Chain A
Amino acid sequence: MNTMIKEKKSNQKNVEQEVISAELEENNMKVRVENFNFYYDTTQALKDINLEIKANSVVGIIGPSGCGKSTFLRCFNRMNDTISSIRYEGKIRIDEKNIFDDNLDVVDLRRNVGMVFQKSNPFPKSIFENIAYGLKINGIKDKNFIAQKVEESLKNAALWDEIKDRLHKSAFALSGGQQQRLCIARALAIEPEVLLLDEPASALDPIATAKIEELIHELKKKYTILIVTHNMQQAARVSDYTAFFMLGELIECDETNKIFTNPSKKITEDYVTGRFG
Chain B
Amino acid sequence: MKKKKMEQFIGFMFLRVCIGLVILALVVILYDIFSKGSGVINWEFLSAMPRKGMTEGGIFPAIVGTFLVTIITALLSIPLGMGCAIYLNEYARKGKVTRLIRMSIRNLSGVPSIVYGLFGVVVFVQLLQLNTSILSAGLTLGLMTLPWTITASEEALKNVPQSYRDGSLALGATKWQSIRTNVLPYSIPGMLTGAILGLSRAAGETAPILFTGAAFYLPFLPKSFSDQFMALPYHLYIMSTQHHAIEKVRPIAYGTALVLIVLIFCMNFVAIIVRYKLRKVKME
Classify A-B as touching or not with yes or no (CB < 8 A): yes
With the chains together, A134 CA to B209 CA distance in Å? 50
Contacts of B25 in A (CB 8 A): none
B283: A residues at CB distance < 8 A:
124, 172
Cross-chain contact of B163 among A111, A114, A119 (Cβ < 8 A): A119
Does A77 reach chain B (CB closer than 8 Å)?
yes
Is the C-beta of A40 less than 8 angstroms from some C-beta in chain B? Answer: no
Question: CB distance A187 to B171 under 8 Å?
Answer: yes
Interface string of B175-205 (1 = CB under 8 A from A): 0010001100010000000000000000000
Tell me which residues across on chain A come within 8 A of B170, comparing CB atoms: 77, 79, 110, 114-115, 117, 187
Contacts of A82 in B (CB 8 A): 165-166, 169
Determine if A107 is an interface residue (Cβ-Cβ < 8 Å).
yes
Interface pair B166/A79, CB less than 8 Å apart: yes
**A202 interface residue, CB < 8 Å from B?**
no
A137 pairs with B177, CB closer than 8 A: yes
Which B residues touch A119, using CB under 8 A? 163
Question: A123-B167, A137-B168 in contact; A107/B182 too (CB < 8 A)?
Answer: no
* Band of interface residues on B: 20 to 34
How many Å from the CB of B279 to the closest CB on chain A? 11
Which of chain B's residues have a CB closer than 8 A to the CB of A183?
167
Closest Cβ of chain B: how far from A168's Cβ, in Å?
11
> Which A residues lie within 8 Å of B169 (CB)?
79, 82, 110
Interface size, A (range): 20 to 34
Top 4 A-B residue pairs of the complex, sorted by shortest distance between their CB atoms:
A121-B163, A111-B172, A134-B171, A115-B170
16 contacts between A and B (CB under 8 A): A79-B169, A84-B95, A107-B173, A110-B171, A110-B172, A114-B170, A117-B166, A121-B164, A124-B283, A133-B168, A136-B181, A137-B171, A137-B173, A187-B170, A187-B171, A190-B172
**Known contacts being A117-B163, A186-B171, is A133 close to B181, with CB within 8 Å?**
yes
Q: Does residue B158 face the partner (Cβ distance < 8 Å to A)?
A: no
Does B172 contact A108, Cβ atoms closer than 8 Å? yes
Is A65's CB within 8 Å of the partner chain B? Answer: no
Q: Which residue of chain A is the closest to B171 with respect to CB atoms?
A: A134
Q: Kindly state whether residue A10 has any CB partner on chain B within 8 Å.
A: no
- In the bound complex, CA of A111 to CA of B172 (Å): 5
Q: Is A70 an interface residue when CB atoms closer than 8 A count as contact?
A: no
Interface residues of A in 93-150 (CB under 8 A from B): 107-108, 110-111, 114-115, 117, 119, 121, 123-124, 133-134, 136-138
Closest A residue, CB atoms, query B180: A137
- Closest partner residue, chain A, to B182 (CB atom): A123
CB of B172 within 8 A of CB of A138, answer: yes
- Are B172 and A134 neighbours in the complex by a CB distance under 8 Å? yes
Q: How many A-B contacts if CB must be within 8 Å? A: 67
Q: A170 near B: Cβ within 8 Å?
A: yes
Query: How far, in angstroms, from A111 to B171 measured CA to CA in the complex?
Result: 6
Q: Which residues of A contact B168 (CB under 8 A)?
A: 123, 133, 137
B35 beta carbon closer than 8 Å to chain A: no
A110 to B175 alpha-carbon distance, docked (Å): 12
CA of A114 to CA of B177 in the docked complex: distance in angstroms? 17
Complex: chain A residue closest to B172, CB-CB: A111
**Judging by beta carbons under 8 Å apart, are B94 and A137 in contact?**
no
Taken together as a complex, chains A and B put the C-alpha atoms of A270 and B172 apart, in Å, by 40
Which A residues touch B166, using CB under 8 A? 79, 82, 117, 121
Of A137, A172, A187, chain B has the most CB atoms within 10 Å of the CB of A137
* Interface residue ranges of A34-59 to B (CB < 8 Å): none
Question: In angstroms, how far is the closest chain A Cβ from the Cβ of B31?
Answer: 44
What is the CA–CA distance of A183 and B163 in the complex, to the nearest angstrom?
Answer: 12
C-alpha gap A119/B167 in the complex (Å): 11
B110 at the interface (CB under 8 A from A): no
> B174 an interface residue at 8 Å Cβ cutoff?
yes
The complex places the Cα of A121 from the Cα of B248 at a distance, in Å, of 65
List the B side residues contacting A111 at CB < 8 Å: 171-172
B284 on interface, CB distance cutoff 8 Å:
yes
Give the complex CA separation of A124 and B187 in angstroms.
Answer: 12
Residues of B within 8 A of A190 (CB): 171-172
Residue of B nearest to A119 (CB): B163
